[in-house]
Structure 1
Amino acid sequence: MSQTSESSSARHDTETTDQARVKWTLVGPGLVAAATGVGAADLVATMIAGQRFGYALLWAVIIGTVMKIVLVEGVGRYSLATGNTMFHGWRELGRWTSWHFVPYIVIWGLVYGAASMSGAGLALSALFPGTSLEMWAIVSGIACFALTWLGQYQLFEKLSAILVGIMFVTVVGIAAITAPNLPEVIAGLVPRIPDGSFVYVLSIAGGVGGTITLAAYGYWLREKEWYTPKWMKVMRMDNAVAYAVTGIFVLATLALGAELLYSANVAVSDNDQGLVDMSDVLAERYGTFISKLFIVGFFSAAFSSCLGVWNGVSLMFADYIGHLKKIPQDDPRTSTGGKYYRAYLIWLTFPPMLLLLLGKPTGLIIAYGVLGALFMPFLGLTLLVLLNTKHTPKQWRNGWFVNTLMAIISAAFVYLCVSQVAEVF
């Protein structure tokens, strides 16, 4: 009896020590999720907002950061409180959830794979002038494939942390060099919507790490071996710190647009090429070294996003197949390195290379835009249901304040979805 008590006490002490150690470790699933969601497209959208409206939409970046903290906390809370994955929760709501998920993950993976590799390739071709964008895009895709094929989560997490560190130090450091106008920064904290900026407000708020990878957070918690409610406080800290870091990174991008483009009335491309255009502006203002440093940060953001999707969405696909085949959640076939995980890795990597070489078919781009716009309201609304009903233990359900925030967030994403779909057509 005494030995049992001592063993229990020792186990409790070990768990407490583990949690204390993790609390002070910034490297975690939240950092992976946030870094994965902030890719080249988000940087361009924020930079263009700075170019057109100065600091007027700075408040929208902060709101967007808070929105993601609320949503991802909900995903993490559901996962830890129930021990289930997000797809398990969606299936409990009915088979209709698969009607959206299946075409989304198939078409989205094909087009995103090409776009993500292209973003990383563009950065490398700018870093090494005269080299082929397509060559670097394919190299980037193969590198992501190789790094995630074996399913070494700890390696993947450390690589993500290194990339986040590089993109944070470079971009935030360069933004600091531009000496942001403090009175204008303070004025930008006051919510206002200049003429013609409403869609930008929603896009910026929705773009601070807002993709399918928000739902992947629960899978990364499992890979980290954070399974039960005892990790709830650690998860919340992990999530809040991670999105605060990426929020500062996106604010720095807005500052670059405001200081270097808006004040000088300089226009850049509204696609990934805009980041290369920004490097040219930096070269003229501060020299080649700073310009190259910015491109390194741009590559780190693009490649971390690519790496995170290759791992996280492949886990979601494996879980989806596991539910179709009624395979237990802890079966190796549905985990990192399992055969279903690897099957989706192949889909994300090699078919998209054909799109890089042949061009992206218009029909696929339209489907990608529509399905992508539908996902965020789908996530917000299903979380509202899951976290307010029997699907979640009563202790861990939403309170009135979180429900209010989630309802507002979901309504904003519904509006943004309608706007994006209308724009596509």
Structure 2
Amino acid sequence: MVRPIADASNADDSTPPERGPAADGGPGGTPRLRLVGPGIVVAATGVGAGDLVATLIAGSRFGTTLLWAAVLGCLVKISLAEAAGRWHLATGRTLFAGWASLGRWTTWYFVGYVVVWGFVYGATAMTSSALPLAALFPAVDLKLWAVAAGVVGLAFVWFNRYAVFERAMTVLVGVMFVVVVLLAALTVPNVPRTLAGLVPVLPDGSLVYTLGLVGGVGGTITVAAYGYWVNAKGWHGPAWIPVMRWDNRIAYLTTGVFVIAMLIVGAELLHAAGVALSTGDAGLLDLADVLRDRYGTWMSTLFMIGFFATSFSSLIGVWHGVSTMVADFVEHQRAERAARALGPQAPAAAPAAPAAEGGRERSAAFRGYMLWLTFPPMLLLFVDRPFALVLAYGVIGALFMPFLAGTLLWLLNSSRTPRQWRNGWLSNTMLTAAGALFLVLCAREVIGLFTG
């Protein structure tokens, strides 16, 4: 059993709070829209090209009947992100510090996850970012665009701190939002029929798509990174919890509008015309062709820009967020080794402070994991992915969300969390429902991997 380790979480921040929560919208103040930041980052990272395709296909097959599932998916992710952020602020410890207190099994799972998942995800993210660029500029090979996307993303996160990263993500979200909402408006949706989709129903053959909509809105491991981004924003301590909750809700409201708009596009533009999309991110290229035929080249080009913004925001979000978690993991491993060297009678040691002048963002572990996300996966751009690697990636990835929901339930209902900030009945209900949902999705994913 690993002993709980005190966490010097204040040391991971290069942007200290300037005036305090009361002045900026915490207790004694009113939350302001300008405070929204970490939530936008986690939402932008979580909504990738795969989510767009899944939502479009659901809309093209079932119209807006599954609108309720998209809304439910946003509520599930709000509860998960709120729990992660509340843990960081209420305890002053990072999420990995909490996991480490539950036993060494969490460490082994985390290591396997970030190594295997990161290797395959790196290639996937680079390819997704390259697809719209190759469609807009076909003279350059897709693989070269993918390599360029990875290198540019690496350089951007490497040389910039959180504040610049957050501003860039906000711009990319703005582009995504404007393009998708404009596209939905151009389809002139039937409003009464759309609103009828808020009534939960399951058309024949829709179960898989419903589970995908509920479970796929807004990210996986990036939900766990939310607490790290909250600290990077300069929010520390329970006084910031109301601000964090405001930030989280605004962000996932934006995500909800975004996903609903894509469902409307699938329903109004594809369902009515009987258009079938290709599987995977390439399905968005099919949509671009439909848009070109219906609205002209300008709309197709604008959509490609939005497609790139969606994919590239996910790329740099993972490069930053998961690398921060890996850096925290390395700090805790060093602290554990130091504690063992001092002997069993020594007090629990705090992790060493992150590298000066930039905290975790400038640490060797942070930058080393970014390199792992960027260069080794480039091999997968030029060769077929080995079956064993794809299998491991699918199993480990499918297990992460049940792992996250379960461990948050454990941590936030235990003495590790101050009593006033432990889960209430609503949080427990939502996290339990999320865990059950993701276990079903996990089982479906694993069965699919073995059955083909």
Report TM bin, short chain: over 0.9
The answer to whether the Cα contact below 8 Å between 1:23 and 1:238 also exists between their aligned partners in 2 is no
- Residues 376-415 of structure 1 correspond to what in structure 2 (within 5 A)? 376-415=401-440
Counterpart of 2:448, as a letter, is E
Alpha carbons of 1:105 and 1:14: their partners in 2 closer, same or farther (altered >3 Å)? Answer: closer
Counterpart of 2:388, as a letter, is G
Task: Give the distance between the partners of 1:97 and 1:422, measured in 2 at CA.
Answer: 24
Task: Give the distance between the partners of 2:94 and 2:308, measured in 1 at CA.
Answer: 31
Tell me the residue number matched to 2:354: 331
- Residues 179-258 of structure 1 correspond to what in structure 2 (within 5 A)? 179-258=188-267
Tell me the residue number matched to 1:18: 24
Task: Give the distance between the partners of 1:69 and 1:221, measured in 2 at CA.
Answer: 14
* 46-55 or 158-167, which deviates more: 46-55
The answer to whether the Cα contact below 8 Å between 1:116 and 1:302 also exists between their aligned partners in 2 is yes
CA shift, 1:63, in A, is 0.1
- Residues 276-287 of structure 1 correspond to what in structure 2 (within 5 A)? 276-287=285-296
Task: Give the distance between the partners of 1:400 and 1:27, measured in 2 at CA.
Answer: 27
Task: Give the distance between the partners of 2:171 and 2:322, measured in 1 at CA.
Answer: 21
Tell me the residue number matched to 2:343: none
Alpha carbons of 1:250 and 1:12: their partners in 2 closer, same or farther (altered >3 Å)? Answer: closer
Q: For each residue in 1:75-102, what CA deviation from the matched residue of structure 2 results, as whole angstroms up to 9, or x when unmatched? A: 0001100011111000111111122111
Tell me the residue number matched to 1:373: 398
SS in 2 for 1:332: coil
Tell me the residue number matched to 1:103: 112
Asked if residue 361 in structure 1 is aligned to residue 386 in structure 2, the reply is yes
* 326-335 or 133-142, which deviates more: 326-335
Asked if residue 342 in structure 1 is aligned to residue 367 in structure 2, the reply is yes
Task: Give the distance between the partners of 1:362 and 1:130, measured in 2 at CA.
Answer: 32
SS in 1 for 2:75: helix
Q: For each residue in 1:104-160, what CA deviation from the matched residue of structure 2 results, as whole angstroms up to 9, or x when unmatched? A: 100100000000000000011112233211111111101110011135111100000
Task: Give the distance between the partners of 2:118 and 2:449, measured in 1 at CA.
Answer: 19
The answer to whether the Cα contact below 8 Å between 2:334 and 2:352 also exists between their aligned partners in 1 is no
Asked if residue 118 in structure 1 is aligned to residue 124 in structure 2, the reply is no
Task: Give the distance between the partners of 2:135 and 2:256, measured in 1 at CA.
Answer: 26
Task: Give the distance between the partners of 2:399 and 2:434, measured in 1 at CA.
Answer: 14
CA shift, 1:199, in A, is 1.5
SS in 2 for 1:157: helix
Counterpart of 2:201, as a letter, is R
1:319 counterpart (316, 328, 347): 328
Counterpart of 2:404, as a letter, is L
- Equivalent pairs counted in the alignment come to 415
CA shift, 1:27, in A, is 4.1
Alpha carbons of 1:403 and 1:84: their partners in 2 closer, same or farther (altered >3 Å)? Answer: same
Task: Give the distance between the partners of 1:29 and 1:380, measured in 2 at CA.
Answer: 20
Structure 2: gaps of 5 or more residues: 1-16, 336-349
CA shift, 1:15, in A, is 4.6
Tell me the residue number matched to 2:346: none
Counterpart of 1:308, as a letter, is G
Task: Give the distance between the partners of 2:254 and 2:352, measured in 1 at CA.
Answer: 32
TM-score normalised to structure 2 length: 0.89
Q: Which structure shows the bigger proportion of residues in helix conformation?
A: 1
The answer to whether the Cα contact below 8 Å between 2:83 and 2:408 also exists between their aligned partners in 1 is yes
The answer to whether the Cα contact below 8 Å between 2:406 and 2:435 also exists between their aligned partners in 1 is yes
Q: Percent identity?
A: 53
1:36 counterpart (41, 45, 64): 45
Task: Give the distance between the partners of 1:293 and 1:158, measured in 2 at CA.
Answer: 21
The answer to whether the Cα contact below 8 Å between 2:119 and 2:373 also exists between their aligned partners in 1 is yes
RMSD, aligned CA: 1.6
Tell me the residue number matched to 2:10: none
The answer to whether the Cα contact below 8 Å between 1:51 and 1:258 also exists between their aligned partners in 2 is yes
Counterpart of 1:16, as a letter, is A
The answer to whether the Cα contact below 8 Å between 1:83 and 1:228 also exists between their aligned partners in 2 is yes
SS in 1 for 2:382: helix
Task: Give the distance between the partners of 1:89 and 1:151, measured in 2 at CA.
Answer: 28
Alpha carbons of 1:129 and 1:27: their partners in 2 closer, same or farther (altered >3 Å)? Answer: farther
Structure 1: gaps of 5 or more residues: 1-10
Tell me the residue number matched to 1:7: none
SS in 2 for 1:129: coil
The answer to whether the Cα contact below 8 Å between 1:26 and 1:242 also exists between their aligned partners in 2 is no
The answer to whether the Cα contact below 8 Å between 2:277 and 2:286 also exists between their aligned partners in 1 is yes
CA shift, 1:103, in A, is 0.9
SS in 2 for 1:130: coil
Counterpart of 2:282, as a letter, is Q
SS in 2 for 1:401: helix
Task: Give the distance between the partners of 1:331 and 1:13, measured in 2 at CA.
Answer: 24
Tell me the residue number matched to 2:12: none
Divergent runs of 4+, >4 A: 11-15
Counterpart of 1:346, as a letter, is L
The answer to whether the Cα contact below 8 Å between 2:31 and 2:246 also exists between their aligned partners in 1 is no
CA shift, 1:324, in A, is 1.1
Asked if residue 62 in structure 1 is aligned to residue 71 in structure 2, the reply is yes
